[in-house]
Structure 1
Amino acid sequence: MLPAICICLLAAFVAYAFLSSQSPLEDFPNGTVTSSPTVKPYSPTATTNPHTANPTVKPTSSGSSGTGGSSVTSNPSPPPTNTPDPDVPHETDHEKADDYQWNSSQVVDIVLNGNSITTSSPDTSNIQGSKITILSAGTYRITGTLTDGQIVVDTQDKNTTRLILNNIDVTCSSSAPIYVANAKKTILILAEDTVNTVKDVNTGRTDEPNAAVFSTADFTIFGGGQLNVQGNNNDGIASKDGLIIKSGIITVNAVDDGIRGKDYLIVKDGTLTLTTGGDGLKSDNTEDPSRGYIDIENGVLTITAGGDTVEAETDITINSGVLNLKSGGGSNSIISSTLSAKGIKAAVDVTINGGVFTIDSADDNIHSNKICTINQGSFSLSTADDAIHSDESIIINAGEISITKSYEGIESTEIVINGGAIHLTSSDDGINGAGGKDESGFQPGRPGGPPGQWSFVPGDCHLYINGGYIVLITDGDGIDINGPMEMTAGYVIVNGPTSIVNTALDWEGSFKTTGGFILGLGTPGTSIAPAMTASQTSSQCSLLINFRNMKSSGTLIHLQIDNGTNVITFDPVKNFQSIALSSPMLTTGITYQLFLGGSSTGTTLDGVYQNGEYTPTSGPVKTFIINSIVTKFDKV
């Protein structure tokens, strides 16, 4: 049986009210969907599995991950995010309430006149031709154009320096047009209804300042105006300390990274449009585990990057916003194995509490080296690799996840699904429990192609399904776990592979079922009924039926109790030769009838008929009694 790697193509999209909830289809009258199921909000105490404890409490090794204090606009509200360590300097020292307040009577005017500069307060600055160096903290309003000049902040003051950009157009051929060489804190204010342009020139220089807007100290961007940045030499906007984007309409084109905050990058709001040859948003402090993080609290972000669109050296936390991300040319591109072109990538944890995401990547859409937690959000994902990947653990509590293209859909050592709605179609495995780092345990892939396969190193992997609504359409294994599986609740449909070397349901050890509904279609010998290899700890019955011949897609599957009570009527989208089923409707001592073909009234939701009446064209292909936890029939 082939080991696990996959692309996933996510299928039908369910209405938002249904998808944004938690455990759809928890109770099915007569085993069928009678209406759009009600989904419950995430509750970490709703199940007894120890792996479902509040996932937003991160390991101590993760360090501080930002305020995370912004409430999520979608419902239900997620659990609280990390609380920063009070002993660690934090960005709350960066932002103060009075940062955005100043005395207009004390504003110093600076006028840019092409190749010269004038100021209303000569004592606070030094002017040399087309270069002005601000020497004192204060508030400065800058207007006009520099054809080749520079604005420098170099002050020893402990107070804040504010630069109000009032329709400026500054080009510098030798350095950063706006350069904060020394300051306690600098705030770049985009005056309302203004358009401000800053651009440098490609000189090939690599030393600092290596961005068109560059700061060595804490830096904030704020205001209702526009800022257009051309980073023709390297980065667009960069801070060697922390960078906060409070608001503004910001457009960046950069040959390398778009916006970089070394210690942290916090986007509180604003409209950001980035086009970069390197990464889009980036925080890259590798020396301090409490730094190097990105927080996105809100905003509209459109990022097209040659590398990663959002990349942090430690954590990424997203509370809300609209993110349209494209990396590495998108999911139809082939990239070098040495290039990282992921959508959202964190070297430690990714926590998503809300937002609307459209991500098209040549590499993983969402990637974490440790823990990836999705508490809420709407996701449309397309990738040439994994849609959601974490080296250690993925926890999905709620949200709507639509994976329209991927190699493997959801991959991690441990996967916990407590809720949400997932639609996924894959060219290989849909949900893959594989140990270690991305591509670990694999033979090398073909040049320019997806990662290799065939030699997954066995690992202590787990899948826990405690709720949610999951629909998989896969060419590889539907669910492939290099370890045990456990299902306590939820609803799962697998339109699995037609090749005998893959399977609809595949695990090592055991599959313990104590609740929920799972239907897996595949080929004989590859679909194993849940708990087939497990101990009798499973309390819910399972059924495996293998047919003599392949059945065509569109051939209705209808299972009922012999008194006519419906268990399921299903319209498969792929050919099948095997049915694996576990349902609360399967009870020992009860007689069941299986029909193939025929027709049904009612409507379908992902192939499941609702509120309909089934009409057979012939008698049952199999009448049987459930006589144990696992009942199996071959060559039907």
Structure 2
Amino acid sequence: MTKRKWKTGIAACMVSTAILTACSQSTDPQTDAASSAKTDSAIVVNYTKDELNTEWDAANATSIELTDSGATFNETDWVSFEGKVLTIKAGGTYVLSGNSANGQIVVDAEDEVAVHLIFNGVSVTNEDGAAVNIIQAEQTILTLAKGTENSVKDGAKYEKTGEDDPNAVIFSKDDLSINGSGSLTVEGLYNNGILSKDELKIAGAQLKVQAKDDGIIGKDLAAIKDGNVTISSGGDGIKATNSKEDDKGNVALETSTIAITAGAEGIQAKNTLSVNGGTYTIAAGGGSPETVSKKAEAPPGSTSTSPEKVSKEQTGKGLKASQSITITDGSIQVDASDDAIHSNGDVTISGGTLTLETGDDGIHGDGQVTLSGGKIDILKSYEGIEGNAITISDGTISVNSTDDGVNISSTSETDDPNNDSSKRLLTISGGHLSVNANGDGLDANGSIAMTGGTVLVEGPMSDGDGALDYDETFQMDGGILIASGSAGMAMASSDSSKQPSILMTYSEVQKAGTLIHLEDSTGEAIATVAPSKDYQAVFISSPDLKKNETYSLFSGGKSTGTPVNGLYQDGTYSGGKETVSVTLTDTVTWMNESGVTEAKNNMHGAPNGGMPGGSDGNNFEKGQKPDGQPPSGEKGELFDGLDENVKKEAMTILEKERSGELTREEAQQQLAELGVEMPQRPTDKK
């Protein structure tokens, strides 16, 4: 009996996703470095030399030819064929070719040498189980030989369906790596496509996976580098499932081309998900609806949520992680029925180009959302960007939302027992942000701080929302902010701000496209903007505004410049009508066509856009209303003095009018039946 020779020494050269290190000799490629490690910013995946090696030594390899009736190979102790099953019993290199209409490849190697399978033109179908079943091996490396087409397929029913039995076309209980420049088609009629109960790494391979449930699964790690992967799955596209170990359950994608059509989540990690370069096209949960409808919110004091509001646990998210999502580079296009990008922890985006369409949030983080670079276009969303805290320091960001554009969500007592509102902060220090929102433009259930960058907000015309909305303070110390929208809830920055601003309220609604032009006493332009939506109030803050200087506001006319999201940064303005001219004696100047006005009470019951008692609420204990009642977390006290139940019903009616469920006349009628008068809008006043 002739025994095959195999190499007992394996050269391991660890190749990081970012750094190429020196090569070293080792009998075990895993001893040189951990396969993956989580850093504060991303996952670093190390690929061994063997995991990247696509060549083999024919003299030291076992050749196996598969046929419909069996398999042909040199007699050896390390390979057997019985019934329909080809079994590989030891580490080494095995070159497989041929077709097996109803067979199976099994790896059951007890030694400490990697099993290297070369698919050199292989087609395997197993009607009642996995086509490739890796029971045990130190590591299995599957190489797709250059220029070859390979395929594996299972049947709709498996003979064994226990919890520990295979449930994928390619199933591995140990580490599995796939490489090579050939192609592999995986058709999973029973359940999953490719599954590893340990780590799964794909390097440079071309895969087409179709699965009844999940496409590609790595329990501890699912990593793809330089791959070309297409997935169509009834469940998730790519996922890592280990939720019991803090450093495992990661997905790491790098410089790959991946297209996913998934019935559930596109990509899901139980721990951390990172993307560093490549092109990704993801359709999840059937994609976003043609029109994202405005969803009714819970009435004041209610702990229930509208049944129309998408659950954060609902499937159909594009990229999802339980701990964090990090994107440093790459082109990412997501069309998802639920959130496009969702983390139960943090989201960090420092580069890349993202195009997002979603039936719910564009970017959602239960913790910190940090945007420091790249280009983000949220074409369609319910809420554009949502997080417990959001920091924007760079990048070009465009948001279109049915409800709030950028939202600092409220923190529950479960998440924050101390209810520390200082953590709920929208910070903007750079970049270019444009928001088109039918709800609040910038909405902070906490505070806003801006020191730089350019922000353009086109808010709603519904008086139940505003272009700017915050609960505590808005410290405006730098940058350019122009926010237009309705007048009913118009808010300005806090009086403690270092940079001057104006808030203009018009007596009549201004039509979409009507230019707003602000200039100083010498005729130098401060800002020229053409909102694409109707508006009745506009807030402008710019480093060029100075206290004790006089400025004129014009309406209409034209500019020879080129607008960027409605803002003209060059050109000459002419032909407009001067609406008002004022001298800025305060940091925040409220004005209308008659000149400077007093700061009005907004929906929070506070002048100057702050908490009751002034811009920072110092006249009251933190979070308290003037009557000493605890804050409701809602947008103001329109109906102070009413019975609480009547107040709730009245606010519910206003919410329905805001969402379009009721006409204004219907809302007036229902309020009248409660004995409540419809609050006046500025346009109602004569």
TM-score range, shorter chain: 0.7 to 0.9
Question: Is residue 357 from structure 1 mapped to residue 314 from structure 2 by the alignment?
Answer: no
Partner of 1:594: 553
Aligned residues: 539
Partner of 2:143: 189
1:130-170 CA distances to partner (integer Å, 9 max, x unpaired)? Answer: 21111111111111111111010001110110111111111
Whole-angstrom CA distance in 2 between matches of 1:405 and 1:111: 53
2:45/2:252 contact within 8 Å kept: no
2:15/2:48 contact within 8 Å kept: no
Instruction: Find runs of 4+ consecutive structure 1 residues off by over 4 angstroms.
Output: 82-85, 89-101, 333-338, 456-460
Between stretches 94-103 and 543-552, larger displacement belongs to: 94-103
Between stretches 199-208 and 383-392, larger displacement belongs to: 199-208
Query: Aligned to 1:559, which of 481, 502, 518?
Result: 518
Partner of 1:434: 409
> What is the 5 A alignment of 1:13-24?
none
1:175-221 CA distances to partner (integer Å, 9 max, x unpaired)? Answer: 11111111000011101111111000011664321100011111000
Query: Aligned to 2:444, which of 460, 464, 481?
Result: 481
Whole-angstrom CA distance in 1 between matches of 2:490 and 2:132: 63
1:565-603 CA distances to partner (integer Å, 9 max, x unpaired)? Answer: 001111110001001111111101111111101122122
Query: Aligned to 1:268, which of 221, 225, 230?
Result: 225
Partner of 2:18: 70
Between stretches 314-323 and 458-467, larger displacement belongs to: 458-467
2:103/2:124 contact within 8 Å kept: yes
Whole-angstrom CA distance in 2 between matches of 1:98 and 1:348: 29
1:68/1:319 contact within 8 Å kept: no
1:99-152 CA distances to partner (integer Å, 9 max, x unpaired)? Answer: 555422111111111121111243211111321111111111111111111010
Partner of 1:341: 316
Paired letter, 2:246: P
Whole-angstrom CA distance in 2 between matches of 1:542 and 1:364: 35
> What is the 5 A alignment of 1:457-536?
460-532=423-495, 536=496
Whole-angstrom CA distance in 2 between matches of 1:430 and 1:589: 34
Higher relative contact order (CA 8 A, sep 6+): 1
Q: Cα offset for 1:554?
A: 1.2
Percent of aligned positions that are identical: 36
Paired letter, 1:248: A
Query: Aligned to 2:90, which of 136, 139, 144?
Result: 136
Question: Is residue 379 from structure 1 mapped to residue 327 from structure 2 by the alignment?
Answer: no
1:559/1:569 contact within 8 Å kept: yes
RMSD (CA atoms): 2.6
Paired letter, 1:291: K
Whole-angstrom CA distance in 1 between matches of 2:591 and 2:534: 19
CA spacing shift, 1:602–1:90, aligned 2, 3 Å: closer
Whole-angstrom CA distance in 2 between matches of 1:514 and 1:486: 8
1:99/1:160 contact within 8 Å kept: no
Paired letter, 1:70: A
CA spacing shift, 1:95–1:367, aligned 2, 3 Å: farther
> What is the 5 A alignment of 1:205-604?
206-207=161-162, 208-332=165-289, 337=311, 339-436=314-411, 460-532=423-495, 536=496, 538-604=497-563
Whole-angstrom CA distance in 1 between matches of 2:230 and 2:47: 28
Paired letter, 1:227: L
Q: Cα offset for 1:408?
A: 0.5
Whole-angstrom CA distance in 1 between matches of 2:576 and 2:387: 45
Whole-angstrom CA distance in 2 between matches of 1:134 and 1:567: 76
Paired letter, 2:202: I
Whole-angstrom CA distance in 1 between matches of 2:282 and 2:16: 22
Secondary structure at 1:105 match in 2: helix
Q: Which runs of 5+ in 2 are unaligned?
A: 1-13, 20-35, 293-307, 595-686
Secondary structure at 2:586 match in 1: coil
Q: Cα offset for 1:525?
A: 3.5
Secondary structure at 1:243 match in 2: strand
Whole-angstrom CA distance in 2 between matches of 1:117 and 1:358: 45
Whole-angstrom CA distance in 2 between matches of 1:572 and 1:84: 44
Partner of 1:449: none
2:16/2:46 contact within 8 Å kept: no
Question: Is residue 103 from structure 1 mapped to residue 63 from structure 2 by the alignment?
Answer: no
CA spacing shift, 1:509–1:436, aligned 2, 3 Å: closer
Q: Cα offset for 1:94?
A: 6.6
1:285-342 CA distances to partner (integer Å, 9 max, x unpaired)? Answer: 1221111001111110000000111100000111111000000000018998564111
Q: Cα offset for 1:370?
A: 0.9
Paired letter, 1:476: G
Partner of 2:152: 198
1:70/1:297 contact within 8 Å kept: no
Q: Which has the larger radius of gyration?
A: 2
Q: Cα offset for 1:542?
A: 1.3
1:166/1:194 contact within 8 Å kept: yes
1:552/1:575 contact within 8 Å kept: yes
2:273/2:321 contact within 8 Å kept: yes
Query: Aligned to 2:70, which of 105, 108, 116?
Result: 116
Whole-angstrom CA distance in 2 between matches of 1:479 and 1:370: 21
Q: Give the TM-score normalised by the residue count of structure 1.
A: 0.81
Q: Cα offset for 1:96?
A: 4.8
> What is the 5 A alignment of 1:35-46?
none
1:4-26 CA distances to partner (integer Å, 9 max, x unpaired)? Answer: xxxxxxxxxxxxxxxxxxxxxxx
Secondary structure at 1:199 match in 2: strand
Q: Cα offset for 1:265?
A: 0.7
Secondary structure at 1:123 match in 2: coil
1:117/1:130 contact within 8 Å kept: no
Paired letter, 1:611: D
Q: Which runs of 5+ in 1 are unaligned?
A: 1-65, 72-81, 442-455
Secondary structure at 1:367 match in 2: strand
Whole-angstrom CA distance in 2 between matches of 1:342 and 1:97: 31
Whole-angstrom CA distance in 2 between matches of 1:237 and 1:275: 12
